[in-house]
Chains A and B, each alone.
Chain A
């Protein structure tokens, strides 16, 4: 009998490059579990449209080639990468990573208060310190475990930070994590572990930046534990250059009675995917909102997987995008309510405004409910700028392009106005203005 074995799938160029890169650098990277992580990635390869979670963001098609893993940049190269900080007015403490490498000289960790420790993962491991908890939120049984981007980042990370906020402690000022680029076209890969102890309060900002014209592939994998009764906020803003690939994964667990307020601002990159895997304990409260601006030929994806595990939890997801030229925005959101999560209150909305007739927006909100006493709802809309509103504004003397500016701000306002921190709100509004100024250019 002839047995016809399925021919092994041909690897894409990018996959071959990643494999070769791992063979070269993998053994020299710190920490455990690298081989297993890469094997998990290699099992699927770059995900494509027949994989449900990547249906609208076919990475096999969108990523033609994977650049070399980044080496540690020199101090002068790292220093040169530091541009103006859009969140300067917040007055946050600062961690700076360049091409995925922590730069203590460029960081300022003062004034965070008692009970707050921040250290690089590499330093922690090499000094025999504890990186306890690293990998727990993406381990067996988690929604993130099978994700190929999580696996890839777990295989290639070069450094990152461990932040621990002791139980009951309050961070005295926010901590900003800046991910910068030296300008080399490299694969930069970081992972972070943040633990906010029971009853503690913590605020984080993240900024991802790279210059236009640089084909950097920037990966970030963050595990964030918000302990019982703790309160955490995270504002994650991405303004990568026009040739950059930005791939971020955040796995977050909310303990009983924990609160997590999350904002995602996707303002750049040629290809961006941010995925959030959240699990909620009893009476936990998750607020997540997102604003995406996409133009040119860019593709921006925000994917949420929210699991209500404990009873009485609340989650609010509101994502809005403005899409111009031939850009694409993708929103996928799945709220799962476990049998144990009675009295869950979940509401998800995804809305897009198309500013050109070639622009595209895909929205796929889903509910998966296994409990019987819950209040959950979702909605999605895709629309164009309303001509009636535009005419009304123009009839009062406001020129066409200015009416669009007002209406884009008005559309996004429901998200941007809800961002905690006035200084951050203003910074994001200014960035939206800058994006609008650049339309059609």
Chain B
């Protein structure tokens, strides 16, 4: 599904290279966890895949089902099925959450040549998905993320994911800021979306999340490259030993 080859990316303003030859292949139905030290480039990878401005790709490629996504504008990547649950979701004053969700869903449908969803169908969909994530009416009416607690923002990201039903879901530290119950609720939400034709990249620092969302593959990202790949046991190993072993590998 996702094929990243020798990806190099730098910060546009100062030319600092953050991703330095990153390779990653994710097949449909798989859940990949990416772990790695602070500043390694995990969020940068997710931003480059989602098309956030401010980064320049200097080498390499990233394709979704064989289609190069790096040239696409962010809204087209989304319509093609890329979804990033942000590490730091932004607040959008003046845009009601509901209005936003509907605009997003209809824009994606339109880009795919599908009909707009009817208002009753949309309301039903939102009510069901919000209910599963314990998101109340109040949060749906309020402007997007404005005044939401850290955990509420993360749940709101997963609500968007559940409604938009993307092909490739990238979760950047979705577990940070979640209390124990919310972590369970969010994980259930994610697990419910697991399917043979959908893939997940779960960026996290903690095994705790991976107890709920069982990964098929675990990667270590250090200094802009994938430096080790293994099964679920790799995460446990990292939890015990930390990243000391990888400092030299990447250097």
A76 on the B face (CB < 8 A): no
Q: Mark A390-411, 1 if CB is under 8 A from B, else 0.
A: 0111111111101100110111
B207 on the A face (CB < 8 A): no
Chain B residue, CB-CB nearest to A409:
B94
Q: Mark B79-111, 1 if CB is under 8 A from A, else 0.
A: 100011010011011110001100111011001
User: Would you give the shortest CB distance from A391 to chain B, in whole angstroms?
Assistant: 5
Report how far A5 CA is from B101 CA in the complex, Å. Answer: 72
A388 on the B face (CB < 8 A): yes
What count of chain B residues pass the 8 Å CB interface test? 30
Chain A residue, CB-CB nearest to B94:
A410
Chain A residues positioned under 8 Å from B107 (CB to CB): 396-399, 402
B189 on the A face (CB < 8 A): no
Q: A391-B53, A392-B89, A393-B100 are in contact. Are A399 and B75 (CB under 8 A)?
A: yes
A33 on the B face (CB < 8 A): no
B237 on the A face (CB < 8 A): no
Q: What is the predominant secondary structure among interface residues of chain A facing chain B?
A: helix
* Cross-chain contact of A410 among B50, B53, B95 (Cβ < 8 A): B95
Query: Are the CB atoms of B84 and A398 closer together than 8 Å?
Result: no
Report how far A239 CA is from B53 CA in the complex, Å. Answer: 37
B228 on the A face (CB < 8 A): no
B151 on the A face (CB < 8 A): no
User: Would you give the shortest CB distance from A401 to chain B, in whole angstroms?
Assistant: 10
Q: Mark B54-94, 1 if CB is under 8 A from A, else 0.
A: 00000000000000000001110111000110100110111
Chain B residues positioned under 8 Å from A406 (CB to CB): 95, 99-100, 103
* Cross-chain contact of A397 among B78, B86, B89 (Cβ < 8 A): B78
B160 on the A face (CB < 8 A): yes
A414 on the B face (CB < 8 A): yes
B51 on the A face (CB < 8 A): yes
Chain A residues positioned under 8 Å from B95 (CB to CB): 393, 406-407, 409-410
Report how far A414 CA is from B75 CA in the complex, Å. Answer: 27
A387 on the B face (CB < 8 A): yes
Report how far A411 CA is from B52 CA in the complex, Å. Answer: 22
Q: B35-56: which residues lie under 8 A (CB-CB) from chain A?
A: 50-53
Chain B residues positioned under 8 Å from A400 (CB to CB): 73, 75
Chain B residue, CB-CB nearest to A389:
B92
Q: Mark B178-203, 1 if CB is under 8 A from A, else 0.
A: 00000000000000000000000000
Chain A residues positioned under 8 Å from B94 (CB to CB): 407, 409-411, 413-414
Q: A392-B90, A397-B164 are in contact. Are A402 and B103 (CB under 8 A)?
A: yes
4 closest cross-chain pairs (CB), A and B: A410-B94, A397-B78, A397-B108, A396-B104
10 A-B pairs (CB sep. < 8 Å): A388-B90, A392-B89, A395-B51, A395-B75, A396-B108, A396-B160, A397-B104, A398-B104, A400-B75, A406-B100
